[in-house]
Chains A and B, each alone.
Chain A
Amino acid sequence: EVQLVESGGGLVKPGGSLRLSCATSGFTFSSYSMNWVRQAPGKGLQWVSSISSGTSYIYYADSVKGRFTISRDNAKNSLYLQMNNLRAEDTAVYYCARGYGYKNLWGQGTLVTVSS
Chain B
Amino acid sequence: EIVLTQSPGTLSLSPGERATLSCRASQSVSSNYLAWYQQKPGQAPRLLIYGASSRATGIPDRFSGSGSGTDFTLTISRLEPEDFAVYYCQQYGSSSPYTFGQGTKLEIK
A21-59 contacts to B, CB under 8 A, are 37, 44-47, 50, 59
Q: Which of A50, A59, A104 contacts B50 (CB 8 A)?
A: A104
Q: Which of B45, B96, B102 contacts A106 (CB 8 A)?
A: B45
Task: Say whether B92 contacts A101, CB under 8 Å.
Answer: yes
Task: Say whether A102 contacts B47, CB under 8 Å.
Answer: yes
Residue of B35, B44, B56 with highest tally of chain A CB at under 10 A = B44
Task: Say whether A44 contacts B56, CB under 8 Å.
Answer: no
Alpha-carbon distance A94/B37, docked complex (angstroms): 16
The reply on B100 being an interface residue by CB < 8 A is: yes
Binding site for A on B (CB under 8 A): 33, 35, 37, 39, 43-47, 50-51, 56-57, 88, 90, 92, 96-103
A selection of 26 A-B contacts at a CB cut-off of 8 Å is A37-B45, A44-B100, A44-B101, A45-B37, A45-B45, A45-B90, A45-B100, A46-B100, A47-B98, A47-B99, A59-B97, A95-B45, A100-B92, A101-B92, A101-B98, A102-B33, A102-B90, A102-B92, A103-B45, A104-B50, A104-B56, A104-B57, A106-B44, A106-B45, A108-B44, A109-B44
Binding site for B on A (CB under 8 A): 37, 44-47, 50, 59, 61, 95, 100-104, 106-109
